[in-house]
């Protein structure tokens, strides 16, 4: 079994794709993939209106053309593996859109804990937007603002502050 499968989380070195150029991240949000399991799955490819996601075959991992992506988030909302995110940089701060399947949902302006891949708290951020993508399950896309732009490479979940 792979190391990540035993641990239950990914180390940055286990992610197989490269990251977008910083200049692009400063223009608008860009989709990134942390999909590493080679299983038959491709809704991210079929949902992308700009054909920015490709795969060599149905079992391959997706490749995102960052120059084509406009950050619409459709792929993030449809991915059953919660393996896609949007990241961006604005005025030195980081912006991350992540899939969220917990309740209650945080609302715009709420302060939340920002968690890394391991579930450790890295600090606090502010919710900029909550979009429900499945009315039945309430699964959502949460967009958060973080103080440090470099956190976009580490934050992959949030925790409601009680
Ligand atoms: S964010 Fe939108 S444009 Fe970018 S890869 Fe995903 S579906 Fe395509
Ligand atoms: S939809 Fe998600 S899990 Fe499926 S191939 Fe795309 S990124 Fe991977």
Atom 2 of ligand 1 has which residue's CA nearest to it?
72
- Is 16 part of a structural domain of the chain? yes
Ligand 2 site, residue 32, Cβ cutoff 6 A: no
43-62 pLDDT, tens digit per residue, is 999 999 999 999 999 999 99
pTM: 0.95
- Is 51 part of a structural domain of the chain? yes
pLDDT score of 64 more than 80: yes
Q: Is 105 exposed, middle or buried (0-12, 13-18, 19+ CB in 10 A)?
A: middle
Give the number of the atom of ligand 1 that is nearest the alpha carbon of residue 86. 1
Q: Is 29 exposed, middle or buried (0-12, 13-18, 19+ CB in 10 A)?
A: buried
Atom 8 of ligand 2 has which residue's CA nearest to it?
35
Ligand 1 center from residue 94 Cα (angstroms): 19
Short-list 139, 146, 154, 149, CA closest to 100: 139
- Is 131 part of a structural domain of the chain? yes
- Is 2 part of a structural domain of the chain? no
Ligand 2 site, residue 44, Cβ cutoff 6 A: yes
In degrees and rounded to multiples of 5, residue 129 shows phi and psi of -160, 145
- Is 82 part of a structural domain of the chain? yes
Atom 4 of ligand 2 has which residue's CA nearest to it?
41
* Euclidean distance between CA atoms 90 and 75, whole angstroms: 22
* Euclidean distance between CA atoms 66 and 99, whole angstroms: 19
Helical (H) or strand (E) element with 43: helix 43-47
88-114 pLDDT, tens digit per residue, is 999 999 999 999 999 999 999 999 999
User: How many structural domains compose the chain?
Assistant: 1
* Contact between 156 and 102 (Cβ < 8 Å): no
**What is the per-residue pLDDT for 16?**
79
Ligand 1 center from residue 1 Cα (angstroms): 31
Give the number of the atom of ligand 2 that is nearest the alpha carbon of residue 35. 8
User: At 150, is the secondary structure helix, strand, or coil?
Assistant: helix
Identify the domain containing residue 95 by its residue range. Answer: 9-160
- Rounded to a whole number of angstroms, the distance between the first and last alpha carbons of the chain is 37
Q: Is 39 exposed, middle or buried (0-12, 13-18, 19+ CB in 10 A)?
A: exposed
pLDDT band at 1, cuts 50/70/90? low
- Is 3 part of a structural domain of the chain? no
pLDDT score of 129 more than 90: yes
Q: What is the mean pLDDT of residues 16-41?
A: 94
- Is 147 part of a structural domain of the chain? yes
Give the number of the atom of ligand 2 that is nearest the alpha carbon of residue 55. 5
- Is 26 part of a structural domain of the chain? yes
Q: What is the mean pLDDT of residues 16-25?
A: 92
């Amino acid at each position: 079994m792979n190391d990540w499968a035993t641990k239950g989380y990914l180390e940055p070195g286990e992610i197989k794709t490269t990251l977008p150029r910083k200049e692009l991240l400063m223009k608008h949000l860009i989709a990134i993939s942390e999909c590493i399991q080679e299983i038959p799955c491709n809704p991210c490819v079929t949902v992308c209106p700009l054909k920015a996601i490709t795969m060599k075959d149905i079992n391959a991992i997706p490749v995102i053309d960052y120059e084509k992506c406009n950050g619409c988030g459709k792929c993030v909302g449809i991915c059953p593996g919660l393996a896609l995110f949007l990241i961006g940089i604005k005025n030195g701060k980081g912006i991350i859109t992540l899939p969220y399947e917990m309740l209650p949902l945080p609302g715009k302006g709420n302060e939340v804990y920002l968690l890394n891949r391991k579930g450790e708290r890295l600090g606090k951020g502010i919710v900029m937007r909550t979009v429900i993508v499945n009315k039945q399950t309430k699964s959502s896309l949460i967009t958060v603002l973080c103080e440090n732009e470099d956190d976009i490479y580490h934050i992959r979940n949030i925790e409601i502050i009680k």
